[in-house]
A and B are shown apart, each in its own frame.
Chain A
């Protein structure tokens, strides 16, 4: 069985400060892990994915995430938040059979 836990339901940062969105996973094998972003009234968009290659994954819009097997974590970070980063973020795991498990999401608010 696999599961994903997003540790914060809401994160608020000031523009220009770092962003950290936390995700822990539980899986009996090395999973494929993804971060998706959902802007209001828009579809889910892939930010980045980990599929057992490099443990530090770079994504779009300056986001990156590090897969840490010892900590079963896949936290999403960005050095400097922008107003346009305000959105809902989902940590997701897919198996190679395509079975997906979504976290409950983290709402990121960026203050001017």
Chain B
């Protein structure tokens, strides 16, 4: 079974520039998550999709971050404009729906450096 695919793996941008990350979840997984992992901390949920609808975006800085999941499959996360504090690894994960299927499978992440 193919895993969660993310691209790019690494990105370096200057502050105030924009950047986009892409995620392809495991086939058939209805739930998709974007996490931000700052160095030395655990992943923090930014947004959770159920198919193409948003379930939870309470911790997404909506003034600069946006995400979409067209057709309930692939997803993109955008930052515009970027700040120095956005430097982090951005993780995408997916899971099936159901009481016994809450395990999330993670991609390798995109490491963003804002200079």
Contacts and interface: CB of A to CB of B under 8 A. Distances in A.
Interface of A: 32, 34, 36, 41-46, 49, 51, 90, 94-100, 102-105
B106 interface: yes
Interface of B: 3-4, 31, 33, 40-45, 48, 50, 55-56, 91, 93, 95, 97-100, 102-109
The secondary structure that dominates the B interface is loop
Given A43-B109, A44-B91, A49-B103, A99 B56 contact: yes
Contacts of B99: 51, 96
A83 to B, nearest CB: 22
Contact of A90 (B42, B98, B100, B103): B42
Given A90-B42, A99-B56, A43 B48 contact: no
A90 B42 CA distance: 7
Contact of B108 (A42, A100, A104): A42
A102 B3 CA distance: 21
B41 to A, nearest CB: 6
A98 B42 contact: no
A47 B82 CA distance: 34
